[in-house]
Amino acid sequence: MLISKELAAAFNTQIGHEYGAGLQYVAIAGYFRQEQLTLLAKLFFTQAEEETQHAMKFVQYMLDTKGDLKIPAVPAPKATFKSAEEAVQAALTWEEDVTKQITVLMDLAVKQNDYLAQSFLQWFIDEQLEEVVKMDRLLNVIRKSGERNLLMVEAYLVHIEKAG
């Protein structure tokens, strides 16, 4: 086994968090779809797929290191939102929480001198910066636009997509 039992248990917990994030993003995408905000819905459906890919990276790592894979039950996501701001704030809060979770995993890998896990987790640390920044920017754009001008947010997303 190339991973300690303690780190394997922590990785299994993170797999649940990543799948939970995917489900939360599906719920947020559903909110935007119901509001007829197609590009915001697409952004969050895409984010949901990305979170599932993150979970699968942890699964693959567990299999590669012969860790004891035990995928936990995933709590139901928050299903309703009162506003676009509340939905995106939930996404930002989630990403901030995941950043803390990944940091705890890295701390454990460092404590155990597990260089394989540290290398693996570095990708997630870099990814979390990107995801927190993306959600923070989107939240700021929604706040500046206001709930009555969410079509401007959709136009902003088209602009960002073309620029990228």
Q: What SS3 class is residue 140?
A: helix
User: Among residues 34, 43, 37, which one has the least CA distance to residue 148?
Assistant: 37
pTM: 0.94
Sign of CA dihedral 17, 45, 49, 105: negative
Tens-binned pLDDT, residue by residue, of the chain (164 aa): 899 999 999 999 999 999 999 999 999 999 999 999 999 999 999 999 999 999 999 999 999 999 999 999 999 999 999 999 999 999 999 999 999 999 999 999 999 999 999 999 999 999 999 999 999 999 999 999 999 999 999 999 998 888 87
CATH homologous superfamily of 5-163: Ferritin, core subunit, four-helix bundle (1.20.1260.10)
User: Among residues 49, 79, 50, 81, which one has the least CA distance to residue 150?
Assistant: 81
**So where are the chain's domains?**
5-163
Long-range contacts of 108-111 (CB under 8 A, 24+ apart): 108/6, 108/7, 108/10, 109/7
pLDDT at 162: 84
Which helix (H) or strand (E) segment holds residue 60: the answer is: helix 38-64
- From its phi and psi, is residue 66 left (phi > 0), alpha (psi between -120 and 50) or beta? left
Gap between the Cα atoms of 13 and 74, Å rounded: 10
pLDDT at 85: 98
Gap between the Cα atoms of 97 and 95, Å rounded: 5
pLDDT at 161: 80
DSSP 24-42: HHHHHHHHHHHTT-HHHHH
C-beta neighbour count of 96 within 10 angstroms? 15
